[in-house]
Amino acid sequence: MTDFKDNPHFQLFLRQKNNQFKVGKGTYSQRVKRLNLLQRAIEFTYREQIKEALYKDLGKPVVETELTEIYQIIGDIKHAKQYLHKWMRKQKVKTPLSMLGSSSYYIYESKGVCLIISPWNFPFNLTFGPLVSAIAAGNTVIIKPSEVTPHSSALMAKIIEDVFSEDEVALVQGEAEVSTELLKLPFNHIFFTGSPNVGKIVMTAAAKNLTSVTLELGGKSPTFIDKTANIDMVAKKIMWGKFMNAGQICVSPDYVLIDESIKAKFIEACKKWLKNFYTEQPEHSESYARIVTQKHFERLKSHIKNAESLNATIEIGGKLDSDTKYIEPTLVSNLKEEASLLQDEIFGPILPILTYSTIDEAIDYVNSKERPLALYVYSKNKSNTKKIIENTRAGGTCINNNVIHYANHHLPFGGTNNSGIGKSNGFFGFKAFSNERAIVKQHTIGVTELLFPPYTDLKEKLARLTIKWF
């Protein structure tokens, strides 16, 4: 092993490395016991503290905390406990006739020492979700949460210390420099959630040690709406999915592509549902979150100012309050292509509305961009829906809804290319933290032994027959 003695986290890494075979050989019952301890801590012991920490960091409403943080983690744990016994079984496969006398199977074995670098927008969910998969697969884990949400990170550190020994699961707090040092260590797997730009840094660092990665990134998730859609229903669902957590969601609709003939009707329906959700004064609503930091507030503010400078139309919203980091739910139309809102993932409560005259035109626009983490289609026309799905690429898709695919533990979650590498969620998360180890067991003399050297004409004929028939 390379000399990492000057790395401040090497001794912690080494303790987990020395312990990882013991943890990896843990039985189903032992792994479930660890998951139970984590479940109890989140569901009961620290539940109220989690709500308080998220309110301090993000102004997150209690109901959103319950549904998108606590419920999701508990769901992850319950799903893993229900299926873990099946996942841990030896997986038998067929053996070809050319290998007569042997049997074949594979096992899911732990990768070893894993690093989880988690984001700030759903700090508990996106830290403990991957952790559940890592524990289920029998790994030791070091966690680096975001420094942007300090109250949440401090509480997670307390939970981890309460539930696990340090040589099993540990959490390290700090600024970006801490992540830099951790990434120098030869982890067996790295699970990162964040932006594509930082994802590239993580992947570059991982490559130096040939470490496998799961990268859950982001991108500009498009939403198609055709003229067959139920506009009132569409507006209701999009206003919910877009403005939950003040739009700070990696799978929220990033922009709308709508048939130009129904644009006005859609905007009116959006106004209705925003008023219904957050009243006429969202700044006073207890159901609406805030922007996480002043830096992110200024970034989003600059998007709105840029759109205004290019004569875009603020259809709804646009109000800002720097002191409280409040940005009103905002819909913007008539955007020029060079507008910054159309260049980078918004990750905030601003929704651009673009119009199209044909589905093909809308598809071409989406395909001119990087492949998104999510893509949504609202339509009653099966032909249109099929056409959009078959002619685009995305990590995941909802038809006549948005965001909710993440909550189905039976589905893989993750991006493609710029929006991510690898999958998580349920079995797919367990698989990400596992090595599929192939095993062949020889029972009797094998056919292949007839073809061992020295090579003769007869063996050449046998080889030809093997190729032809087996």
| pLDDT tens profile 165-178 | 999 999 999 999 99
| pLDDT at res. 423 | 98
Pairing of the two strands 420-421 and 212-216? antiparallel
Q: Per residue in 4-40, pLDDT tens?
A: 989 999 999 999 999 999 999 999 999 999 999 999 9
The span from the first CA to the last CA of the chain, in angstroms, equals 44
Q: Per the domain annotation, does 460 fall within a domain?
A: no
Distance CA 119, CA 126 (A): 7
| pLDDT at res. 463 | 86
Mark whether 129 and 250 lie in a shared domain. Answer: no
| pLDDT at res. 451 | 85
Q: Per the domain annotation, does 463 fall within a domain?
A: no
Residue 464 pLDDT greater than 80, yes or no? yes
Q: Per the domain annotation, does 279 fall within a domain?
A: yes
CATH number of the domain encompassing residue 106: 3.40.605.10
Q: Per the domain annotation, does 446 fall within a domain?
A: no
Mark whether 152 and 226 lie in a shared domain. Answer: no
Mark whether 262 and 180 lie in a shared domain. Answer: no
Q: Per residue in 111-120, pLDDT tens?
A: 999 999 999 9
Residue 1 pLDDT greater than 60, yes or no? no
Active site residues: 216, 250
Distance CA 128, CA 124 (A): 6
Over pLDDT 90: what percentage of the chain?
94
Q: Determine contact, residues 237/332, Cβ cutoff 8 Å.
A: no
Mark whether 162 and 279 lie in a shared domain. Answer: no
Q: Per residue in 124-149, pLDDT tens?
A: 999 999 999 999 999 999 999 999 99
Mark whether 377 and 234 lie in a shared domain. Answer: yes
Residue 401 pLDDT greater than 70, yes or no? yes
Q: Which domain holds residue 174?
A: 10-217+421-436
Residue 447 pLDDT greater than 80, yes or no? no
Residue 258 pLDDT greater than 90, yes or no? yes
Q: Per residue in 286-309, pLDDT tens?
A: 999 999 999 999 999 999 999 999
Q: Per the domain annotation, does 442 fall within a domain?
A: no
DSSP designation for 452: P
Mark whether 142 and 226 lie in a shared domain. Answer: no
Tokens 């003399």 -> residue = 445
Domain count, the chain: 2
Q: Per residue in 66-90, pLDDT tens?
A: 999 999 999 999 999 999 999 999 9
Q: Determine contact, residues 296/321, Cβ cutoff 8 Å.
A: no
What average pLDDT does the segment 307-322 reach?
98
Q: Per the domain annotation, does 2 fall within a domain?
A: no
Mark whether 265 and 362 lie in a shared domain. Answer: yes
Of the candidates 408, 410, 376, 412, which has an alpha carbon nearest to the alpha carbon of residue 392? 376
Mark whether 198 and 290 lie in a shared domain. Answer: no
Mark whether 97 and 209 lie in a shared domain. Answer: yes
Please tell me whether residue 462 adopts helix, strand or coil conformation: helix
CATH number of the domain encompassing residue 375: 3.40.309.10
Mark whether 200 and 345 lie in a shared domain. Answer: no
Tokens 């993000």 -> residue = 58
What average pLDDT does the segment 239-261 reach?
98
Residue 198 pLDDT greater than 70, yes or no? yes
Q: Per the domain annotation, does 466 fall within a domain?
A: no
Distance CA 375, CA 357 (A): 19
